[in-house]
Amino acid sequence: MAIREHMLRPPRPADVHSRQAGSVAILLAVLTANVLAACGGGDDKPAEPLKLGRAPAEPGKSIDLDIPLDASGFFAFNQWPQACEILTDADIEAVLPQTEEVKRTPDDQDIKIIGDVPQTVTAVGATCTYKLDLPDAGLRPDDPAIPPSIRLTVESAGSPEVVEQNFSGDVNDPTKVPGGECYVRDKSAGVNCFKGQLAFQITSRFPHQDLDNVAWTDRYVVGGKTTTFTDDGTDKDAGFEEFTKAEEFRRDALDVELAEIVLAKY
C-alpha cells in the first residue's frame, strides 16, 4: 500500500507549510507519460470528444465530520475523513457524463506534525484514486501509461484554525470555486481548497484522446462548445505550451467542478 507523506503543524502563529517544490519536474514527468500513452482502447470507431458537465445542484452523501480531535487539533488520525467515500458515482457522472465505471483505490498518508514534540502519524484513507472508464471518449482504465483518473486527498482535517494554518495552496493564485477558498498549487495541477474543518486537493489525469507517435489531439465539449488542443510533435517548446494549456483547461472545467461538489458536502 502506497503511503503519501505530508507535513502539518499544530496551531501557532508560525508560517504555514507549503509543498510547491518540484511542481515543474512533476509536470514534465506527466508530459512525458502523456506522450508515451496509448489511446482509444482498441475500438474501431473514432473517439468522441471528452464531455464535461457541471456540478449538480444537490451533490450526494454529505461528509461526516463528527470526529473526535487529537491533542494536536487535527482529527483522530485513525478516523480521518475517507477520501474514497467523498465522491459518489453520481457526482462523477454529473461532470463526466460518459463515465461507465468508477473504481476506487484508497491510500494512507503519512503526516509529520511539527511542534514542540515532532511526531509522524498516519492518516488512514486520506487519499483516493478514482479510476474511470469512458469508452466513448476512448479513455480506458487499462491504459498502460496514464489511466483516466481523479485523485482526491484530504490534506488537513480538524479544527478550523489548524486547517487554515496548514492549507498548502498558492495564495497568490486564487481560483473561484463556490463554497470555499481555493487556489492552484502550480499552473496546471489541480485545485487546493479549504473550508472550515477540511482542506483537500483534487486533480484529474487523462491520456491523450488521439495519439500518433508524438503527435496528439485532445478535444473537450463544455456547454455544447468543442475546444481542441493539438500538437504535431515538431516543436518541443510549442508542444509543451499546448499541453499546459490543455491541462489548465481541464483543471478549470473539470477539477473546479469536482471541488465545488466536495465543498457542498459539508
150-174 pLDDT, tens digit each: 999 999 999 999 999 888 666 667 8
Q: pLDDT class for 44, splitting at 50, 70, 90? A: low
- Give the range of the structural domain holding residue 184, as residue numbers without chain letter: 3-263
Asked if the model's pLDDT at residue 76 lies above 80, the reply is: yes
Is residue 43 packed enough to be buried (19+ CB in 10 Å), middle (13-18) or exposed (0-12)?
exposed
Q: How far apart are CA 159 and CA 201, in angstroms?
A: 18
Percent of the chain with pLDDT over 90: 64
Phi, psi (rounded to 5 degrees) for 44: -75, -35
Cβ pair 104, 92 in contact under 8 A: no
pTM over 0.85: no
Q: How many domains does the chain have?
A: 1
**pLDDT of 176-199, one tens digit each?**
899 999 998 766 579 999 999 999
**pLDDT of 91-119, one tens digit each?**
999 999 999 999 999 999 999 888 777 88
Asked if the model's pLDDT at residue 21 lies above 60, the reply is: no
Asked if the model's pLDDT at residue 29 lies above 80, the reply is: no
Q: What is the mean pLDDT of residues 62-72?
A: 94
Sign (positive or negative) of CA dihedral 130, 17, 181, 264: positive
Long-range CB pairs of 248-254 (<8 Å, 24+ gap) are 248/187, 248/188, 249/220, 250/52, 250/204, 250/206, 250/220, 251/184, 251/188, 251/189, 251/190, 251/191, 251/203, 251/204, 252/175, 253/52, 253/220, 253/222, 254/52, 254/95, 254/96, 254/204
In the three-class reduction of DSSP (H, G, I as helix; E, B as strand; rest coil), residue 18 is classed as coil
Structure confidence at residue 147 (pLDDT): 92
Cβ pair 97, 122 in contact under 8 A: no
| DSSP one-letter code for 136 | G
